[in-house]
Structures are given as C-alpha cells and as structure tokens.
Chain A
Amino acid sequence: MTRFSTTVDGTRYEDEVEPRLLLVHYLRDHLGLTGTPVGCDTGNCGACTVELDGDSVKSCSVLAVQADGGEVTTVQGLATDGEWTALQTAFHEQHALQCGYCTPGMIMAARDLLKENPDPTPEEIRRGLEGNLCRCTGYQNIVRAVLAAAAEERRREAPAPRSADTGRPDTRPAPAPATAGQEART
C-alpha cells in the first residue's frame, strides 16, 4: 500500500492505496466520484478523461499515486454554485449528447482543447477530440457545441465589439442553438 494525497475538485484527500490502483477507480470506488465513467480498457475511448495538473489525461491510464500532490478536476467539479460552464451549457443547447456516457470525457477534452486554442475551426475541433469516442451523436453536434462554447467564452473574455487579444472585430456569430431548427444546414 502506498500513502498519497491529492486534491480532487477542490477537496484534499489522503489515502493509502495499492500502487496499481488506476486513478479512475480511485475516483469512482474510493471517493464515490462516479461522474467519471470507464468506457474501455485500452485508453481508446476517452470517457474517463479528467484534468490532472492542468492537462487532460485519461484517468484509466494514470495510476492514482501519480496524482500524489497533484490537482484533479473532474466533470463534477466544473459547475460553480450550480452554474454550468459554457461547455456544459453548449452541450445541452446543441444536443451534443444522447446517452451521455461519453459526455464527461468529451467535455473535459473539449475544455483542454479550448485552453490550447480558444478559437478553433470545426476541423481543429474534430482533430482535437480524436481521442474521445461517441457512439450516439455522429459528432456533428459536439463540434457545434464546442464552437458555441468557444464563442461564448470569447464573448465573456473580450468586451464587444472588438476582441481584446487580436484587435479584430469578433463578429462571427455563435452557432444558433439546436432549438432554432437546423434542418438542411451543415
């Protein structure tokens, strides 16, 4: 058994665990943080994606003890005082989830993507989420949700109408919500 301590979603824990214990099983079985699911055993599906010390990781491919002294954020730690992040809202509004099993990992991966690239193209979003599989949506609405969240975050960061960091007018509209009716649009 190995003693270690880690902070998860703002709460510090000290535990003794088997060195082989996967981070995802620590979260789920030891802390009861079941918002992060397991979708595969080969690191392919990304359902278990969390943030560890600022980087997104697949928590099935990290040992719990590797998070010693570190800071973990899961999907359960995103909302503050019940207020969703732009990504959570956009996934809901753009119908970017159906069964929702991939959603925690997809949101965590998208969050990492937007940190690296706050203004991605649809193509960059598709490539950036390559490590996260969804079987329900065909990805199209996930791409739209990430675009919408990116636009919303830029809007919050930069006073309209001029983007502070680039100096160019930030006039591209966010995708209309899925509720607006989107037949026959790409």
Chain B
Amino acid sequence: MTAQATTDAPRPEVGRSRTRKEDARLVTGRTTWTDNITTPGLLYLAILRSPMAPARIDRIDVAPALERPGVIAALTGRDLADELGPMPCVWPVTEDIVMPDHPAVAVDEVRYAGEPVAVVVARGRYAAADALEAVEVDYTPLPPVLGLEAALADDAPLVHAGKGTNRCYTWPLDTGNYAAQKARADVVLRRRYTQQRLIPNAMEPRAVVATPPTASNEYTLYSATQVPHVARVILSMVTGIPEQRLRVIAPDVGGGFGSKLQVYGEEAVALALARKLGRPVKWTESRSEGYQATHHGRGQIQDIEIAATKDGEILGLSVDLLADMGAYLMLITPGIPLLGAFMYPGIYKMNAYTFRCTGVFTTKTPTDAYRGAGRPEATFAIERTMDELAAELGLDPIELRRRNWIRHEEFPYTSIAGLTYDSGNYEAATDRALALFGYDGLRAEQRERRARHDPVRLGIGISTFTEMCGLAPSRVLRDLRYAAGGWEAATIRMLPTGKVEVTTGTSPHGQGHATCWSQIAADVLGVPFDDIEVVHGDTRAVPQGMDTYGSRSLVVGGLAVHHAALKVVAKARRVAAHLLEANEADLEFTAGTFSVRGSPEATKTIQDVAYATFSSHDLPDGMEPTINAGHLVDPDNFSYPHGTHLCAIEVDTETGRARIRSYVCVDDIGKVINPMIVQGQIHGGLAQGIAQALYEEAVYDTEGNLVSGTMADYLVPAAPDLPDFVTDRTETPATSNALGVKGVGEAGTIASTPAVVNAVVDALRPLGVRDVAMPCTPQRIWQAVTDARAKGART
C-alpha cells in the first residue's frame, strides 16, 4: 500500500499470505480422493502385470480366474483390443520420429516389467487381487535393452522389432558457429553427466472410477489426474465414447509432480469395462504397482562442452543428449528433453550454441514429465559445468558467473537459444543470497578446514538458474510439433445473492488455486475473499481448460481469472451507469462500489448490479442480460523465474556421509499473489531437487527388473533427511503479463540439484575429486574419495 492510501481503501488481497480455503477438509479427513468414491454396484479392477521384460507371451488364459469367487470378468490384451485404440503420444517432435503402437494392455509381447497383460473385474478389492493369481501366462524372455549407448549399437536387440531401430528421434538446435568459437577458445572443457531415472512418488497413488451412463446419457470418469480436460479428449479418441458424452472429474488429487500429467491405459480400460459390463468400475494402484506402471522421470546422459577465454568469457556451448524414452511413448515423452533444450545456456551470454538430442527406446517403464521436466537436467549440466570451469580457471564460481550473466539493464534479452527473457535481476538475487548465506565466512572456514586436513570437509555449491515455464504460447507449441495449444480459460459468474463463482481450467492437486484465484478475483471485483468459490477439475462444470503442469497455472490460468474479472467490471459499469443515470465515464469503481464522480452519495455496489442484472427489469436498451464473463489467455511468451541457490554441505571423507549444513535460496518470481503458498512451493521443490542429488534412483538389474521397486527400496526423503531452508525473494515483475507474475512450481526442483552436487564436489576437489554421480550416496562419495586418493592427488 502506498502512503496515500486511506482507511477506505481495503487492503489488497493480492500479496497477502491468506491461509488456504482448501485446508478445512484436508485436516479433518473430509476429502474426496478418487479411491473414496463409491457407487451402487461398484466393481473392482485389478491388473496382471508382466513379471519380466521384455518377453513374448506364448500363451495366456484368463478362464481359471473366472472360476474364482466374486469374479465378474477377466480379459486379455487381445480381448481389449476390440474395445480400445492405442494410447497416443501427442508430441511427435520430428517428422521422422519412430512411434510404436502402444496398447493399453499388451498383446503377444511385453516390453517392460510391469506392463499390463490381463485384467480382472470382481466384486471386491481382495477378490480381484486374488483372481489375478489364477491367470495363466507363459512367457519366453527376450534380451533386455537397458543402456542408452548400447541400445544404439548396430547389433543391439530391438525394443520394437518391427521398427528396425531403437532410435526414436534426433532433434537438433543450432545457433551461431560453435566450431569457430571453439577454435578461438583458450579453454575447452568437456564433461559427461548422468540424470538418473526418478520415480515421482505423488503421495496419492493413481486411482480411477468409471461409471456407465445412468441418470444421464454420459460416461463419467473420476481420475487422480492433473489433466481432466486433456484426458477427456484423449480418452474419447481411445475408447470411441463420443466426447460430448464423456465427463472427466479430477476430485481431490493428492499431488502429481508430472506423474499425473498423463493419460494412462488404466483410465481407458476402466471406461471400456464400464461400457462392456454396464457397471461402475474402480481401479486403485498399489504403491509398488505404481513404481512400475506410473511413468518415471529424467533418465538422460548429457555430454556437454564449453568453450571459453582464459578470462572466463563463455564463447560457446555444445550439448549432446541421449534421452531414455522407456519402452513406449506416453503422452508427451519425446518432448520432455526439448523443454530443456532451450535452457542449457541458462542465464549466460555466449556466441554459439549447438544442441542435439536423441531419444532412445529401452525395455524400462516409459518416462515422461517429472517436476521440472527437461529444465532440471539442463540447469544441472550448465551449473555443474560453470563450477568446473571456475575451478579450471582458478576463479571464484560466483565471479565467473558475474562475468557472463545477462545484466539487469540488458532485459529484455534474447538468449542464444532464441528465447526472449522478459525481465530479471541476477545481480540482486545473488547479492541477497550471498549476504544471507554468509558466503565469505563459509569460504574462510573452508580454507581453514582444508589447511588442517579436517576429515569432514566443507563444500559450497552454487546454482544461478533461470527456466522457461508458464506453458505455453500456442504458436511456439506449433513450431515444436506439439498437438495442442497452451491457452487457459476462466469464467466468472456473478450470482443473484452477490456471491461469486470462478471457474478455472487449471486443475490443482495441492497448489492452492482456490485460495489464490479468490485473491485475484477479490481485488478486481471488490468482493470479499470468502464470497468467492473456485470451481475446477470437472469438464462439465468447466467446459474449457488445459489443466495444470509446467508452472503454468498462475501465469496463464490465474491471468485468465484476472482478465475475466476485468470484463465483469466493464459490463457492470454499463449497468451501474444506467441505474445511476450517469455517464459510464463519470463512474468511479472502488472496493466493489460504483459511484458518480462529484456526487458520492449516488452508489451501486457490484452486488447491487449483479441482482439488477439477474432481475433484468431495468437494463440498458439492447444489453445482453448478464455481467458474467469468460476469458481465455494464450500467453505471448514463456515465464522466466530465476534465482540464486547456495548450499553448504559437510562431507565426511571417511564415511562418505554428506550433510547439508545450510541452504539459502533467493528466488525472483516477479509479483506474488500469496507469499505463504509461494514459500511452500519453494520448500517442496527444494526437497525434490535435493532428493535427486542425494537419495533417489530407479535402479534396474541386468535383466531389466526394477530393483528399487517398493517404497522400502527407493529413498523418498523423510523429515530427518532434509535441512531447514532459508528462503527469500527479490521481485522483478514479469513484463509479459498484466499481473507481473512468474511461475514458481518447479523453480526449487530445477535450482537445487546442481547446488547440492556442486557443494559435494567443492568439498572434495582438493582431494582430486571432479565429479560424484547422482545420487551422491555415502558409498559413491567414499568411492570417489578413495579413487582420487589412489590416483595420488595431493590433499
């Protein structure tokens, strides 16, 4: 608020840490998770999955399952092939991309452990699970395809024999003349980094309830999904249910992190069975089932080369990427690395950039979006490389970054990859982070501990990142060959009683949209925060939407709410002017009240106008009797949040244990709607990024079995595994949207992984360690130290 604000002006909602409207049902257990939904005649679906990969199905017999008590139906992939088309991929990134058939349930051949081979429907949860054991399947194992480089060898076994290759696509991006820049460089540094496979682990496992037409003529699918609108389109195509007769509802959804940005075969199967049996069908995955059946994230090998002068000026960057698609292409599998392709140059200026990504099929669970989706991988590679270059040149890693980053007065700035960053202030965020962190003091302590050969070394890691989010301008998506647009929709209904209904095409699963969208609408409409209800996640109630992923909800969907509210006020102004017998131009609108300039006693509230419009007794001639309004936003540009993250880590060189001592991040996401929610998003993002650095990995054995196949084997960090974070913000408003906001959902995950690994390597660099593969487990750290000592590096 400004100093001139009077007591009459209400405190703006935007910028306040409103506690969440969502919480009441969540803290009292009155939620509607999909698995809570029950309906008369409900049947339970269970899915038999391949215990090996890959394999030929020599024989499959579901008849014995039908003998089991309570079993209603049992079907093979072949039985279902008559009911369902293949599961589509909507991002064919190149013209010559190899797109294999992807049946919801396998026919004749399985290509990853966990692929569905048969389904059973029974009267109860346990009966369905029991009956799976009765299905008889004979398999002949086929050779697995596991390593990305091995998969591309001429004599490699093929994941899809009919395709003749394991190469899915190669996608290039080339700007400037990298060879020429390399030729004039004083230093050329080449590094290889591996992004391990990760399992997203939303706390709510996937679940589906499909109901056949009953009271109305439509099918209803309840699904634990991030994308009810996208799912409706895709499932209509896969099942043949006409789109206008398919309603998709995402009720309370317990996290997603990209894993529910997907349209899964189980959703199609449940609908097909509801149609076939005329009964509602529920399927809920177990956690261990989900580890194989819900898509994975990351899974890349990155060869990165940087060319620089001896003063540390970056001349050019070259990146050659292998990306693990897994056994099939899911909804947007091939596009994930492309979301990173533009981000390898990060916040730095350079003269040339060359990028190439090759997608590779393997006999593993398919990959797709996981929080950050392409951008964490890119940020990791460039930020690790910057620390390596600083060490090579004997420069402080902060100083090296200062010499290369885009200065705040240079915005808007078109990066070498062709993105136009609208705004940013890397200097301010970095200065603030260094001060909060106590950078100089920690460096002094590090020198002192190195000097006395302390077995517990202190490491300091830096990550200065930006990312592209707020997906996405539709024309850019066209150029990237994505099948849909990137707009988002909102409508506002002014109800006769003066209350307000906001519908949004975003589909929250923990983000707090109901709270934040209420704050946005309350300020524009001048109505109380508590008078607003936000409706989402139901294709009947919200006819248009593109759903929630890619840190898009606020910068596209929240903006649509803002603009729809402005339209409501514009329509209401016309009605108010008519009622007050004044010119529209003479009306002021403050805190929900229209008044005539110069005669302050003549007023109409927006609630008065809402009722007057409902009655329609006295509207301007020819006016459509509504002040409701909708708005769709197709963004002009991506959103470019940035920040500086600093990690201090203590590494015990004798045990290999790494313990984060302090973590400071200063993020700049422009204007903020709700600081409390923003901080929560950052905290959670940091936890997931740190988890990649230190704890998590989907591990396969040499036969293609997922050995980290349960939550007991895959280390999702618990409270003692994570530190307290110090978070702060600088505020450089976005210039690409009217709210000045930038995306925040993925920022913490994108920035934190390289900060932590840089800290680990920084701790051990005097011992001769140059890299530790993720996750940096005690065993790997100890091995890296032991190997370096064996090479005789001086300590």
A-to-B contact residues, CB < 8 Å: 18, 20-21, 25, 28-29, 32-45, 47, 74-76, 78-79, 84, 88, 91-93, 95, 97-104, 107, 122, 125-127, 129-143, 177-186
Contacts and interface: CB of A to CB of B under 8 A. Distances in A.
B153 to A, nearest CB: 37
B23 A97 contact: yes
Nearest to B432: A184
B680 interface: yes
Contacts of A136: 203, 255, 510, 680, 684
Interface in B269-295: 284, 286-288
A32 B512 CA distance: 27
B517 to A, nearest CB: 16
Residue from A91, A98, A104 whose CB has the most chain B CB atoms within 10 Å: A98
B91 to A, nearest CB: 26
B676 A138 contact: no
Interface string B357-384: 0000000000000000000000000000
Q: Determine which residue in A95, A122, A178 has the highest number of CB atoms from chain B within 10 A of its CB, and name it.
A: A95
B9 interface: no
Q: Which 3 A-B pairs have the closest CB atoms?
A: A35-B29, A101-B254, A99-B510
A139 B687 contact: yes
Contacts of A132: 718-719
A122 B724 contact: yes
Interface stretch (B309-317, B327-335, B726-734): B726-734
A136 B718 CA distance: 12
14 contacts: A32-B38, A88-B27, A95-B677, A98-B255, A99-B255, A100-B31, A131-B718, A133-B203, A138-B686, A178-B17, A179-B18, A180-B17, A183-B679, A186-B726
Contacts of B725: 138, 140, 186
Interface stretch (B417-425, B440-448, B708-716): B708-716
A184 B436 contact: yes
Given A135-B255, A183-B729, A178 B29 contact: no
Contact of B253 (A42, A45, A99, A130): A99
A58 B677 CA distance: 30
A75 B683 contact: no
Contacts of A93: 19
A97 B23 CA distance: 8
A183 B676 CA distance: 9
Given A42-B287, A88-B28, A98-B255, A135 B22 contact: no
A178 B19 contact: yes
B127 to A, nearest CB: 10
A40 B255 contact: no
B125 A97 contact: no
| Residue of A33, A37, A140, A181 ringed by the most chain B CB atoms within 10 A | A140
Contact of B35 (A37, A137, A183, A185): A37
A178 B681 CA distance: 13
A64 to B, nearest CB: 12
A132 B688 CA distance: 16
A44 B767 CA distance: 37
Contacts of B28: 35, 75-76, 78-79, 84, 88
Contacts of A38: 35, 205, 284
B273 to A, nearest CB: 20
Contacts of A95: 19-20, 676-677, 679-680
A100 B26 contact: yes
A42 B684 contact: no
Contact of B27 (A20, A43, A92, A131): A92
B203 A179 contact: no
B675 interface: yes
Contacts of B680: 95, 98, 136-137, 141
A129 B718 contact: yes
B483 to A, nearest CB: 28
Nearest to A91: B27
Contact of B720 (A18, A33, A98, A130): A130
Contacts of A92: 19-20, 23-24, 27
B497 interface: no
B648 to A, nearest CB: 13
B19 A135 contact: no
B700 interface: no
Contacts of B683: 137-141
A172 B17 CA distance: 24
A185 B257 CA distance: 26
A71 to B, nearest CB: 17
A100 B252 contact: yes
Given A99-B254, A133-B203, A177-B19, 9 more contacts: A32-B38, A34-B33, A42-B710, A45-B711, A98-B510, A98-B680, A101-B204, A140-B725, A141-B680
A135 B719 contact: no
Contact of A181 (B255, B286, B287, B675): B675
Contacts of A182: 676, 679
Contacts of B510: 98-100, 136
B542 to A, nearest CB: 20
Contacts of B676: 95, 178-179, 182
